[in-house]
Amino acid sequence: MESKVISVEGKELRNLELSEAVFGLPVNEDVIWYAINNELANARVGTACTKDRSEVHGTNRRPYSQKGTGRARHGDTKSNVYVGGGISFGPKPRDYSYMMPRKAKQLAMKTILSMKAQDGTLAVVEDFTVETGKTKDLLKKLSVVLNVKEPERTVLILKDDDPMLKRAARNLHWLTYLSYNRLRAHDLFYGRKVVVLESAAKLLNEMYAGK
């Protein structure tokens, strides 16, 4: 499939051949769901912790006599039925992360890129940088490329780690920048617009086409 390469002035420069194996696949909702949940689980901080009755500070003395009061018997006030007592089946520190099969993760990335290319929300832009590192200079270039009145949630896929471009982009809360070889399914899927630099699109063709 072919895609127009757009300049930062909004003009069509040339056609770029995008691999059908990367940008022309049918949408696989299951593998997308799997990849997004894997990323969310890996980012989860499992530090929640509660104390059970053996860890709560307090006396082991009975609150009242076992017999003669007509009330239910209790061993101590650290039981979970008392205010300030232990928590039954509460959370403990744990690791929520797990490994996802490499081929399944690659399929998820290709599926999302295909979905964005097919619904017209993916744009290939000529390579550019922001030499000044200023947000306003990047915003001038993106405003022409995106062609929207108000900025939408946008993903910018780069060829490599461009420090000046990243410096200019970090003040834009609606813009996420990713390297072509470090894509994230969550950001790609929920991005309203996906802007791919021309060199990054070529590298995506090479990296994913044979996998």
pLDDT tens for 76-117 read 999 999 999 999 999 999 999 999 999 999 999 999 999 999
Q: What is the token pair recorded at 106?
A: 């690659």
Mean pLDDT estimate for the chain: 90
Q: How many residues comprise the chain?
A: 211
Biggest CA–CA distance in the chain, Å, is: 93
Domains of the chain, CATH where assigned:
2-30+102-209 (3.40.1370.10), 45-95 (no CATH)
Question: Over the stretch 143-181, which tens digit does the pLDDT of each residue have?
Answer: 888 876 678 899 999 988 888 888 999 888 999 999 998
111: exposed, middle or buried (Cβ count in 10 Å: 0-12, 13-18, 19+): buried
Name the band, by pLDDT with cuts 50, 70 and 90, for residue 211.
low
**H or E segment to which residue 157 belongs:** strand 154-158
Residue 18 vs residues 63, 108, 114: alpha-carbon distances, Å? 75, 17, 10
Q: What is the token pair recorded at 153?
A: 């949630």
